[in-house]
Structure 1
Amino acid sequence: MSQFEYTHRRKNPLTGDWVLVSPHRNNRPWLGATEQASTESLPSYVDDCPLCPGNNRANDTKNPDYQDTFVFVNDFGALNQQQQTSDTNVTSDDELFTFEAANGECRVVCFSPDHSKTMPELSVDELTKVVTTWRENYQELASKFANIHIFENKGEIMGCSQPHPHGQIWAHQHASSEIAKENSQQADYYARHQTPLLANYIDKEVADGSRVICSNEHWIAVVPFWAAWPFETLVVAREDIRQFGQINDQQAQTLASLLKELTTRYDNVFNCSFPYSMGWHSAPTNLADDSHWRLHAHFYPPLLRSATVKKHMVGYEMMAESQRDLSAETAAAILQKASTTHYKQAQQGND
């Protein structure tokens, strides 16, 4: 029996959480369905899309005739800076009913004026503009808030109700639960080793190679050893970058190149527009010392066996801990074999 071909648990060092891995149920030659290339083709412009250039949004604000990216304050933001209470520092003294006011700002980032182009279908130059737009907004928001979350929900299956390719940026002063856990775990590791956790981790992944999907001089994408979602990936800066606002122009371009390759491989696994939730984790700006941090992004895609079969985090996953059948190594092998030429482009070349 080779390594890991038995039921075992893996610990996520970033959060302290565990995942139960049962490879005997699924660690065999890949039997997942390969769907026919999707025939659905979205138009480049939709006259009633609230994110297309020149159209009106729900609050009757008219979008400009933008040519690359477009950012606006979310018309239905979960956070705002205008609280209804007169005391924005209100808290509770009851440890069983603890609460605090939450202020912040939510922005929408349209990746392109083209309604039909998702991230892998954008050029590297177009994606570089997306990355620099993220950076500029991060820098601006960091002057007001300690925690800035850049993320994208792609696909209806992930709850995205608007097909026009876009992401969001939420900024607030409080440390969100995931950031608080990652900060604690990374700080503890740094105190013991005097090296950032993710710096050591990617060195070991490069040396092993089995879970590395793509990399360049500044970035690396791996299926993390502790992955909970079927084709989960982790994108990590290879240099000492702690916050998204610290990315320089060259790093922005190489990040765009890596994101294009990674998301293209995703789409080519099942010949479909691969859904996911993606988000960047940066060091909070109010830390006295953030030496333990390394900028990284999580991709959580739900698809398991085909373009229509997803992994449901229910039952044991909700009541106990995450569980997966497809090992991280098998998932990585599938992504490594996926073409870097988008299936739509390949189909056009064969027509």
Structure 2
Amino acid sequence: MKRTITHLADGRELFYFDLRDDEDRSAADERDLPPRPPASELRYDPLTEEWIAVAGHRQSRTFLPPASECPLCPSTPGHPTEIPASSYDVAVFENRFPSFSAQPGEYEQVGGLSEVRPGVGRCEVVCFTSDHDSSFSALSPEQVELVMEAWIDRTAELSAMPGVEQVFCFENRGPEIGITLAHPHGQIYAYPYVTPRTKLTLGAAERHRERTGGNLFADVLAAEREAKIRVVASNEHWTAFVPAAARWPVEVHLYPHRRVPDLLALEPSERAAFGPLYTEVLRRLDGLFGVPMPYIAAWHQAPVNVGRDLSYAHLELFSIRRAPDKLKYLAGSESAMGAFVNDVLPEHTAHLLRSVITD
């Protein structure tokens, strides 16, 4: 693998990850770009004890352009994009419209019980392939490994940045999910706090350890592998299963068999084994209803400074599609109360996914 770092016209960093060592990445970004926006505001919600990012500049971000104007495709004569090269394997760059950044700004207190502070952190875009019409499920095992190397590289570097408390790699896929760009890509958020979901699960893991002496995530995996009924697919190093208490109509979790706090701790054999299983699961999702499955793929990694002995790196994959022509909307119970009601039996979802022919 070859890693090359360069800069875009407004000073943002761009990283190329290539399978070949002889790729030329000297093409420069010659666009005339506006100044980078300041970091967002973080406002504290005393009712939930959570930080809310307010990033008004994101209202002007690019929204579902035609393929001929895609900013994630390689640059061509007359159409410069975020990636100056004429082709690439994997490219990662700082988001032009970030939720968090290190750019200085001015912030005023808003009164009441809410505290305001800068949304210091970083947001990056990960382009999985230069092929606009492809998808993660169509990537070769070598390309998936390269994407994973990019995730690992960026997790390590972002975790070392001042003020960063958690690094989150994820992919949003499909207009139903709310994507703004159709090109196969994901994102990485470097948060200046530990996210609410992670706090919740680590709290549960700590209480589980106090009661049993075991690791909660490892015990969940072991129980699912023993029950078998919700296992969708597995190999020597990974198991994919529908959780017994799935919130979403289609939800699959992928765990390595060995507990690691983050992607950096995976052995080469574990990294190599991830791609074939994950792309199989994605093809099963696409084959479930005969239409491309909208989904969110979320890597859960240990925070930078806390809970690392409790964490268990894993991927959670879920979709809002509950039937070929029906979506799961987060209405009153889910949105207002955070109380999920799943319309589909998890065991039935697992059975349907196992029944999909992927070859």
The normalised TM-score by structure 2 is: 0.76
- Listed one character per residue, the Cα deviations across residues 271-321 of structure 1 (whole Å, up to 9, x for unaligned) are 22211011111111112x522111112112011110x32111112333341
Contiguous gaps of at least 5 residues in structure 2: 1-65
Q: Is the 8 A contact 1:73 1:107 kept in 2?
A: yes
User: For the structure 1 residues 57 and 143, does the alpha-carbon distance in structure 2 shift closer, same or farther, using more than 3 Å as the test?
Assistant: farther
Q: Residue 44 of structure 2 corresponds to which residue in structure 1?
A: none
Question: Helix, strand or coil for the counterpart of 2:276?
Answer: helix
Q: Residue 186 of structure 1 corresponds to which residue in structure 2?
A: 205
Q: Residue 284 of structure 1 corresponds to which residue in structure 2?
A: 303
Quote the Cα distance in structure 2 between the aligned partners of 1:297 and 1:333: 20
One-letter amino acid of the counterpart of residue 192, structure 1: R
Q: Is the 8 A contact 1:71 1:108 kept in 2?
A: yes
Q: Residue 195 of structure 2 corresponds to which residue in structure 1?
A: 176
Tell me, yes or no, if structure 1 residue 310 matches structure 2 residue 327. yes
Q: Residue 126 of structure 1 corresponds to which residue in structure 2?
A: 143
Q: Residue 69 of structure 1 corresponds to which residue in structure 2?
A: 90
User: For the structure 1 residues 91 and 237, does the alpha-carbon distance in structure 2 shift closer, same or farther, using more than 3 Å as the test?
Assistant: farther
Quote the Cα distance in structure 2 between the aligned partners of 1:227 and 1:188: 21
Quote the Cα distance in structure 1 between the aligned partners of 2:263 and 2:219: 20
User: For the structure 1 residues 61 and 70, does the alpha-carbon distance in structure 2 shift closer, same or farther, using more than 3 Å as the test?
Assistant: closer
Tell me, yes or no, if structure 1 residue 114 matches structure 2 residue 131. yes
Find the partner of 2:318 among 300, 304, 311.
300
Identity of aligned residues (%): 26
Identify the structure with bigger relative contact order (alpha carbons < 8 Å, sequence gap 6+): 1
Quote the Cα distance in structure 1 between the aligned partners of 2:343 and 2:68: 44
Structure 1 residues 8-23: aligned runs within 5 Å? none
Q: Is the 8 A contact 2:284 2:353 kept in 1?
A: yes
Quote the Cα distance in structure 1 between the aligned partners of 2:269 and 2:177: 32
Higher strand share: 2
Contiguous gaps of at least 5 residues in structure 1: 1-44, 342-351
Question: Helix, strand or coil for the counterpart of 1:322?
Answer: coil
- Listed one character per residue, the Cα deviations across residues 312-344 of structure 1 (whole Å, up to 9, x for unaligned) are 111233334111221111111111111222xxx
- Listed one character per residue, the Cα deviations across residues 165-222 of structure 1 (whole Å, up to 9, x for unaligned) are 0000010231111111122111221222222101011111111101011112221111
Task: Return the offset for 1:73.
Answer: 0.5
Q: Residue 7 of structure 2 corresponds to which residue in structure 1?
A: none
How big is the alpha-carbon RMSD for the aligned residues of Structure 1 and Structure 2?
2.4
Quote the Cα distance in structure 1 between the aligned partners of 2:242 and 2:116: 36
Q: Residue 40 of structure 2 corresponds to which residue in structure 1?
A: none
Q: Is the 8 A contact 1:103 1:173 kept in 2?
A: yes
Task: Return the offset for 1:66.
Answer: 3.6
User: For the structure 1 residues 56 and 141, does the alpha-carbon distance in structure 2 shift closer, same or farther, using more than 3 Å as the test?
Assistant: farther
Find the partner of 2:349 among 331, 334, 338.
331
Q: Residue 241 of structure 1 corresponds to which residue in structure 2?
A: 260
One-letter amino acid of the counterpart of residue 188, structure 2: I
Question: Helix, strand or coil for the counterpart of 2:315?
Answer: strand
Quote the Cα distance in structure 2 between the aligned partners of 1:93 and 1:250: 53
